[in-house]
Amino acid sequence: MNILIADDEKPLTNFLARGLRAEGYECVIINDLHEVLPYIKKNSPKIVVLDRLFGSEDSLTIIAAIKALPAPPMMLMLTALDEVSERVKGLQAGADDYLCKPFDFDELLARITALRRLLGTSEKSSRNTLSFAGLELLLEERIALLKGEELSLTKIEYELLLYLIENQKKVLTRERILSRVWQTHSDPNTNIVDVYISRLRRKLDSDQTITIQTLRGTGYRLSLSSA
């Protein structure tokens, strides 16, 4: 993971970069406040460790611009201003966490780890997905994952699985499936739905928790095997 360390104290930034690189992070150092925003716009670091004061300049002036970016980084603000009111200003401006100088490196590392967890949750929730138990559909990519492993699906199989997940635990008649997946109102006695349901069952067979139930005379339902 790439981290930007922005502070005008060169000995401090060099120390932090050495420590973070030893922990496996990729680090870039900036000692000039005016270079911070352009760098973030161009390189999109995941986490920014940002000093509150660069000489007489206050980094709060650029936080709003950073947070307005399409994919803003998580920001850990460093400061020698330890008053509660100053910490509140930083957090209200958009910082995700605040660490007062002097600090222990282990504490900084722990706070970065916490920001990584928040970042991971945020990125996951922003993905356009549908899920059911261990099954996940990535809608933009049109990919189906079963416990993290990609399923090999045809276009029709994907559309059928999508319709089942959209209506999980609901019973879908053959007529409704034909209308949605095949966009046709052809003879409801055709067995094409049954054929594709069987194909999907075989591809889901490696997972023992998900099943496609057949309700005789009614239709199909995606459910848990234990249900």
Question: What confidence score (pLDDT) does residue 189 get?
Answer: 64
Q: What is the pTM of this model?
A: 0.54
Confidence of residue 85 (pLDDT cuts 50, 70, 90): confident
Distances (CA, A) of 219 to 70, 166, 199, 201, 204: 44, 15, 16, 15, 18
Q: Is the pLDDT of residue 125 over 90?
A: no
Residue 194 CB contacts under 8 Å (≥ 6 apart), including other chains: 174
Read off the pLDDT of residues 56-65 as tens digits, 9 standing for 90 and up.
Answer: 899 998 988 8
- Alpha-carbon distance of 87 to 101, in angstroms, equals 12
- Alpha-carbon distance of 217 to 207, in angstroms, equals 26
- Alpha-carbon distance of 78 to 222, in angstroms, equals 50
Cβ–Cβ under 8 Å, residues 57 and 65: no
Q: What is the mean pLDDT of residues 106-121?
A: 85
Give the length of the chain: 227
β-bridge mates for residue 172, sequence order: 220
Q: What is the mean pLDDT of residues 68-76?
A: 88
Confidence of residue 227 (pLDDT cuts 50, 70, 90): very low
C-alpha radius of gyration, the chain, whole number: 26
Read off the pLDDT of residues 163-190 as tens digits, 9 standing for 90 and up.
Answer: 999 998 789 998 899 988 988 766 656 7
- Alpha-carbon distance of 129 to 93, in angstroms, equals 31
Q: Is the pLDDT of residue 210 over 80?
A: yes
Cβ–Cβ under 8 Å, residues 115 and 96: yes
SS3 string, 181-217, reads HHCCCCCCCCCHHHHHHHHHHHHCCCCCCEEEEEECC
- What share of residues in the chain are helix, strand, coil (percent, to 5)? 45, 25, 35
Return the axis-axis angle of helices 84-93 and 60-67, rounded to nearest 10°: 30
Confidence of residue 52 (pLDDT cuts 50, 70, 90): very high
- Alpha-carbon distance of 37 to 24, in angstroms, equals 24
- Alpha-carbon distance of 78 to 217, in angstroms, equals 66
Taking alpha carbons only, the member of 172, 169, 149 closest to residue 159 is 172
* CA 110, 112, 117, 118 torsion-angle sign: positive
